[in-house]
Amino acid sequence: MYSIFVDFEMQPVDIERFPEEYKICHTEIIEVGAVVLNDKNKEVSSFKRYVKPRYSDYIDDHIKDLTGITIKKLGRAPYFEETFADFLRWCNHYRDYTIYAWSNNDKAQLVREMELKKTKQNEAVEYMVSNWVDFQKDYGTLVGAPYSLSLEKALYMAGEIFDGKAHDALFDARNTANLFAKSRDKKKFLEEVKRIKEMAGNDEPTTYSIGSSINFEELKNKIK
């Protein structure tokens, strides 16, 4: 059984030029990043593609600042249809897999964008959508944290620091995979979370108010 971790970066649909398309899907995927873990939770492959948007000819300034993606960088990138077909083939190579993402936003985006772009539905697509797990939710249940916990804070709670650039789809996917792998030994993992909380001066159960009160920048320095 393989575990695939995916992340999408998105760009808003130009609502002024494409109001009907915007009603179906507010954003378009402009980057796909993913990694595969084997049954020993070791990375065996990765996938990274830029995607050219159909319904905007610019990149929103906020998205550009967040991701570093420019319209020039996407100039020769394939459209969603080609990229998704490549991604689906890549996933199907592992046949028996579960796909994970941090929050349910990526799955919702994929479903809406497939509707917008009239992606052909087949068994491979149905398998992917049906075997999709919100790992943010699972992680929150495991440590007693809120589902809205950011990936960076979740990593800090586990004694880890985000590796690479945040809002790069491949780095986001890889860091989610690393957190998943570490959390598989639940007893050891929860002991580590408890230790980190104590280092942060907090021995209460991990709740929303506790999690949000931790100074993660200070904690980051302590665990380097």
What is 73-109 written as a DSSP string? Answer: TTTTPPBHHHHHHHHHHHHHTT-SEEEEESSSHHHHH
Write down the pLDDT at residue 197.
Answer: 77
Give the model confidence (pLDDT) of 38-75 as tens digits: 999 999 999 999 999 999 999 999 999 999 999 999 99
Q: How many CB atoms are located within 10 Å of the residue 224 CB? A: 6
Query: Per the structure block, which two tokens stand in for 46?
Result: 């990765």
Which residues share a beta bridge with 3?
37, 98
Residues 7 and 152: their CA atoms lie apart, in Å, by: 14
Does 32 score more than 60 pLDDT? yes
Write down the pLDDT at residue 206.
Answer: 41
Which residues share a beta bridge with 98?
3
Give the model confidence (pLDDT) of 120-153 as tens digits: 999 999 999 999 999 999 999 998 876 678 999 9
Domain boundaries, the chain: 2-134, 143-222
Write down the pLDDT at residue 106.
Answer: 97
Instruction: Output the average pLDDT for the chain.
Output: 88
Architecture of domain 2-134: 2-Layer Sandwich (3.30)
